[in-house]
C-alpha cells in the first residue's frame, strides 16, 4: 500500500536520473574546488530556486576527485516532495498519516477501516529485505587502507578547521538490541568533522536518538558500533529527518515512502545492518570516552558555532558502489537546504498540531528565522485568553517548539505566510502593555548565543488577535470590506478594464 505519485527511487542515482529528465538537475563540467567554491555555487543556485547540481570535476589539494558530487538535491520544496514520492500538493496527506501514527483516530465503520488500515499497517510492520551481495560493498577499504581523504568532502566556509561530511545518515542501535533488530535502529543526520584518515567527530544534540544510544553504550563502558550512509535513496534520507514517533523505525518507514521493502545488508566489520543501495558506507565504532573539539563551522543561524567537544568515531571500513556518487550540502543563513526541507516539514507537522489543538488554522515557521526560532500561528478564536492558551500548548507539545523563542498568534483572516498581513495584525491588534507574554529560564537552542546562558533563555509570545470579551474595555474596530455584490459586478467588468490598462502600459 503506497500513496506515491512518482516511480520508486531505489537509490540516489535513480532519483538523479528522474530529476535530470525533468530538467531539475544540471551537470557542471568545469573544475570546481571543494574548498568554498562549491558552497558559493550551491548557495547562488539555491537562492534562485535552481536545479540540483552534478559536479563532474570536484577538486581539492589532492587533485581531481575520483567520483562525481551531487549538491542541492533538496533545494526546492518540489524536490523535497518528490523525494517523498509525491507532488507538493499532497504533502499534507503524508502529514495526516504521521498524525495518525502518533494518535490514531477512532475508526468510523468498516469502510473507514478498509481505507486507512493498510497504510498504517504498512508503516508499523514493513520489514527490510536482506541482500547478500549489496551494491554498496562492491569496493571496500579496510583497516590501514581506510582514508577519508579519498572522499570529496567539502570545506564549506572560510575559517573552518577541516573538511566536513554534511549529509551523513548515521545509523545506531541500543546496546540491548540485536544487530538484525531494525525496529530499534535509529537514523539521524549529524555532521561529521574529518580528523584524519580513519577518525571523525560525530556532533549530535543530547536529545537526539544517536546521542541517547551512545550514552547507553558508554554506561556499559563499551564503544558503540555505528554505520554512516552517504548518498542513500531519497526516502531513507528524508525519513531520518521526519518527526516520527519513537516507536516507529525510520528505516522501516522509509519503505512505506518508497513503496517497497527497504533493502539492507550486513556490514563488513561491525554488528550492524546498512542500506544496501547506498553509494558509500562508513563503518566503525564511536568511543565511549574519547572526545575532540569540533568546529567552528558555519551553522544554520548564519554564524559560526562555538567549539565544543563531541565523541570520536574510529572508522574500520569504507565500502562503496563500483561507480559511487558523493552527496553533499552546506549549512548557513537561510535559504539553505535544511531551511527548504524545514518548510516542507512545517506542512507535514500541521495535522499533528491540529489534532492536539483543533482551533489552529495554520502555522508557519519562517525560514528566515532559522526555521524554528519563530512561529506564526493563526487560530479560530472564540473566547478570551485563547491566544495564550495556544502559545503554551505549542511550546509544550512538540519537541521542535522547545526552541521556538518568539510566537505570534493571529486570527484566521491573517495569512501567516504573508509578512504584510502579519505586520498589519501586529500594528492594529496588539498592544505591548497587554499582549506580550514573556517567559524566562526556559529550554533554548544551546547554539543560540543570544540567550544569556547556554541552553537556557526566554520566550516571547505576542497576541495579535482581535480582542474580545474581557480582553478589552473598548469597542473593537470593524475591518473594512467591500460588499460581495459590488465585488461580483466589478469581477464582470474587470477583464475589459484590465485589458485597457495593459494596452495603456504597452
Q: What is the rounded distance in angstroms from the CA atom of residue 462 to the CA atom of residue 464? A: 6
What are the φ/ψ torsions at residue 354 (nearest 5 degrees)?
A: -65, -30
Cell 489543538 found at: 357
Region of 328 please: left (phi>0), alpha (psi -120 to 50) or beta.
beta
What are the φ/ψ torsions at residue 328 (nearest 5 degrees)?
A: -145, 170
325, 12 Cβ separation under 8 angstroms: yes
Please spell the DSSP secondary structure of 99-132, one letter per residue.
HHHHSPPPP-HHHHHHHHHHHHHHHHH--PEE-S
| Alpha carbon separation from 13 to 19, 54, 251, 462 (Å, rounded) | 10, 11, 19, 46
Three-state DSSP state, 439? strand
Radius of gyration of the chain (CA): 25
Total residues belonging to the chain: 506
Q: Residue 227, Cβ neighbours under 10 Å: how many?
A: 25
47, 53 Cβ separation under 8 angstroms: no
Residue partners of 104: CB distance under 8 A and separation at least 6:
120
| Alpha carbon separation from 163 to 190, 203, 367 (Å, rounded) | 14, 14, 26
Q: Considering only CA atoms, which of 155, 152, 162 is closest in space to residue 194?
A: 162
List, in sequence order, every beta strand (DSSP E) within 380-472.
406-411, 436-443, 456-463
396, 415 Cβ separation under 8 angstroms: no
Residue partners of 443: CB distance under 8 A and separation at least 6:
402, 403, 455, 456
Q: What is the rounded distance in angstroms from the CA atom of residue 335 to the CA atom of residue 49? A: 10
Cα dihedral 71, 72, 78, 79, rounded to 10, equals 10
Q: What share of the chain is helix, strand, coil (3-state, %, to 5)?
A: 35, 25, 40
State yes or no: is 463 an active-site residue.
no
User: Of residues 11, 198, 223, 299, which has the active-site annotation?
Assistant: 299
Catalytically annotated residues: 299
Amino acid at each position: 500500500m503506497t500513496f506515491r505519485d512518482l516511480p520508486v527511487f531505489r537509490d540516489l542515482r535513480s532519483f538523479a536520473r528522474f530529476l535530470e529528465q525533468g530538467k531539475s538537475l544540471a551537470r557542471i563540467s568545469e573544475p570546481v574546488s571543494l574548498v568554498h567554491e562549491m558552497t558559493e555555487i550551491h548557495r547562488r543556485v539555491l537562492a534562485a530556486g535552481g536545479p540540483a547540481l552534478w559536479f563532474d570535476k570536484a577538486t581539492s589539494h589532492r587533485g581531481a576527485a575520483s567520483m562525481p558530487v551531487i549538491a542541492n538535491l533538496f533545494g526546492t520544496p518540489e524536490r523535497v516532495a518528490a523525494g517523498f514520492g509525491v507532488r507538493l500538493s499532497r504533502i499534507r496527506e503524508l502529514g495526516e498519516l504521521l498524525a495518525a501514527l502518533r494518535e490514531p483516530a477512532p475508526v468510523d465503520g468498516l469502510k473507514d477501516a478498509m481505507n486507512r488500515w493498510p497504510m498504517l499497517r504498512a508503516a508499523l510492520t514493513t520489514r527490510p529485505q536482506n541482500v547478500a551481495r549489496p551494491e554498496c560493498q562492491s569496493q571496500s577499504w579496510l583497516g590501514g587502507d581506510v582514508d577519508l581523504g579519498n572522499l570529496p568532502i567539502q570545506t564549506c566556509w572560510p575559517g573552518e578547521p577541516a573538511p566536513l561530511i554534511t549529509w551523513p545518515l548515521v545509523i545506531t542501535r541500543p546496546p540491548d538490541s540485536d544487530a538484525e533488530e531494525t525496529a530499534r535502529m535509529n537514523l539521524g543526520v549529524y555532521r561529521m568533522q574529518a580528523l584524519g584518515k580513519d577518525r571523525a567527530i560525530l556532533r549530535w544534540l543530547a536529545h537526539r536518538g544517536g546521542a541517547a544510544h551512545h550514552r547507553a553504550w558508554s554506561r556499559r563502558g563499551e564503544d558503540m558500533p555505528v554505520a554512516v550512509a552517504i548518498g542513500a535513496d531519497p526516502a531513507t534520507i528524508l525519513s531520518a529527518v521526519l518527526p516520527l514517533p519513537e516507536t516507529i523505525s525510520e528505516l522501516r518507514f522509509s519503505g512505506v515512502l518508497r513503496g517497497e521493502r527497504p533493502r539492507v545488508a550486513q556490514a563488513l566489520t561491525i554488528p550492524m545492518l546498512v542500506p544496501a543501495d547506498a553509494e558509500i558506507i562508513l563503518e566503525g565504532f564511536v568511543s565511549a570516552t574519547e572526545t575532540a573539539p569540533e568546529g567552528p563551522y558555519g551553522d544554520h543561524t548564519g554564524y559560526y558555532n562555538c567549539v565544543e567537544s563531541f565523541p570520536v568515531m574510529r572508522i574500520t571500513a569504507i565500502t562503496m558502489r563500483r561507480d559511487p556518487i558523493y552527496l553533499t550540502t552546506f549549512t548557513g543563513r537561510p535559504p539553505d537546504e535544511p531551511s527548504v526541507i524545514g518548510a516542507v516539514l512545517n506542512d507535514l507537522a500541521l495535522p499533528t498540531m491540529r489534532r492536539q489543538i483543533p482551533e489552529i488554522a495554520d502555522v508557519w515557521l519562517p525560514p528566515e528565522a532559522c526555521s524554528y526560532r519563530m512561529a506564526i500561528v493563526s487560530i479560530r478564536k472564540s473566547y478570551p485568553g485563547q491566544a495564550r492558551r495556544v502559545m503554551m500548548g505549542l511550546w509544550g507539545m512538540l519537541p521542535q517548539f522547545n526552541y521556538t523563542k518568539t510566537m505570534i498568534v493571529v486570527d484566521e483572516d491573517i495569512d501567516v505566510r504573508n509578512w504584510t498581513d502579519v505586520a498589519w495584525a501586529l500594528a492594529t491588534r496588539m498592544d505591548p502593555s497587554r499582549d506580550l507574554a514573556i517567559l524566562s529560564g526556559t529550554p533554548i537552542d544551546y547554539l543560540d548565543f543570544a540567550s544569556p546562558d547556554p541552553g537556557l533563555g526566554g520566550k516571547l509570545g505576542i497576541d495579535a488577535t482581535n480582542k474580545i470579551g474581557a480582553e478589552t474595555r473598548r469597542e473593537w474596530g470593524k475591518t473594512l470590506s467591500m460588499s460581495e455584490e459590488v465585488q461580483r459586478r466589478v469581477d464582470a467588468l474587470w477583464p475589459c478594464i484590465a485589458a485597457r490598462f495593459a494596452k495603456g502600459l504597452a
